[in-house]
Amino acid sequence: MDVPELLDLAGIFVFAVSGGLTAVRQRLDMVGMVVLAEITALGGGIVRDLVIGAVPPTAFTSVGYVLVPVAAAVLVFFWHPQVSRILPTVLLFDAAGLGLFCATGTAKALDFGLSPLHAVLLGVITAVGGGMLRDVLSGLIPSVLYDRQLYALPALLGAALVAVADVTGWHGPGVTAGAALLAFVLRVSAMRYGWRTPRPRGVRD
């Protein structure tokens, strides 16, 4: 197992934990928890792979991609009070997963011949698509639609950096790492300093 796959699995685990915690808040049972963990962790990547024609999607070609979210769901099922107490740390890893997925998702879309604009869109979907599906399935308005602590925006900027670098002839792990770092720093800074996207004029918080 190489380093990119290990990082991918780490991001999947953290996203699955967030799905499991949502299941706890919505008072779902173990089945609901596993479903939300799997959807949150894998949904964005599956949508991306189906769009670009990378079939079967990666999630269906690796046992680890399926078992890691199950492990995260089991962890949350038995120890969700403890996991909730370390939520700030979980959010840091979530920000890292966001950065990693937006960058690798964009790079993969570019490799399959998509235009830079469409690759950026798929990079963002890779990063936030699972969370959107999680919220829809659990009866919530997707949090990305009221991006009050800068979640989708860092993913968009990280994905855009990969696309711009590709247009100018820059490729490789360094570009992906730089874009992931940009998204991570923006997301963490938004959590630290309370940065928010604006509401329409005249609409109050």
Does residue 202 lie in a domain region? Answer: no
Does residue 145 lie in a domain region? Answer: yes
Does residue 181 lie in a domain region? Answer: yes
Give the pLDDT of the chain (205 residues) as one tens digit per residue. Answer: 666 677 788 889 989 998 999 999 999 999 999 999 999 999 999 999 999 999 999 899 989 999 999 999 999 999 999 988 888 888 888 898 899 999 999 999 999 999 999 999 999 999 999 999 999 999 888 888 876 678 899 999 999 999 999 999 998 889 999 999 999 999 999 988 888 887 777 777 6
Output the pTM of the full model.
Answer: 0.90
Structural domains in the chain (count): 1
| Three-state DSSP string of the chain | CCHHHHHHHHHHHHHHHHHHHHHHHCCCCHHHHHHHHHHHHHHHHHHHHHHHCCCCCHHHCCHHHHHHHHHHHHHHHHHHHHHHHCHHHHHHHHHHHHHHHHHHHHHHHHHCCCCHHHHHHHHHHHHHHHHHHHHHHCCCCCHHHHCCCCCHHHHHHHHHHHHHHHHCCCCCHHHHHHHHHHHHHHHHHHHHHCCCCCCCCCCCC
Does residue 204 lie in a domain region? Answer: no
Domain holding 73, by residue range, is 3-193
Does residue 28 lie in a domain region? Answer: yes
